[in-house]
Amino acid sequence: MPSKEILAERISEAIKLGKGRRFKQSVELVVVFKGIDPKSPKARFRDPVYLPKGLGKSPYICIVADGDTLIRARNAGVDLVLSREELQKLSKKQAKAIASKCDWILVRTDLMGLAGRILGPAIGPRGKAPIPLDPNADVNSLLKYYRSVTRLRNKEQPFVSGIIGTEDMSPEDLAENALAVLGFIEGKIEQPLSTAVKKIIVKTTMGVPVEVPL
């Protein structure tokens, strides 16, 4: 596992090399595996990982709910809240627009089947999946959590990648986020990174990849 100091140093270099864009770039972490079958379950990623220092931006969160859960979601200021009736009236075009716009889609457990039928064809190809929402869940706590969560994903590839923040965050905070992600990956593959990883790369959205020594 790289040290926080080394990660911060390489992240700082990646941010400098990637400067000059007209938008706030994300900072990405890429982990390339060696000796792991990319088709094995432990090498398949579609996982949320909490970032202790946050994402550096606010993801768009959607909730599909009914009853008291619907009321709590609207009172909590969720970006998009859909009732059962609104979900049922969605056209394929509207479902695709929601799938594109929403980073996280939380669905009350008793509506998961309905949401799967209506939203599934649109969100599946985007590597997203509805997240079950307990009817009695604390919506405010969930909002706080998912506003600091990144998504790791791959498609039977020998690497996994995810966003660890934005270029305006401090390299030290980004390094702390990177360590959280690396720790999650190490736990999932059930091997030390030193033996299972070929290389670790950090980069901004449009920037040059910078390798992190293991």
pLDDT per residue rounded down to tens, the chain (214 residues): 899 999 999 999 999 999 989 899 999 999 999 988 888 888 889 889 999 999 999 999 999 999 999 999 999 999 999 999 999 999 999 999 999 999 999 999 999 999 999 999 999 888 788 999 999 999 999 999 999 999 998 888 899 999 999 999 999 999 999 999 999 999 999 999 999 999 999 999 999 999 999 8
The domains found in the chain, sorted by start residue, are 4-56+149-212 (3.30.190.20), 61-146 (3.40.50.790)
Amino acid at the residue 91: S
The reply to whether the predicted model has a pTM over 0.75 is yes
How many CB atoms sit inside 10 A of residue 160's CB?
24
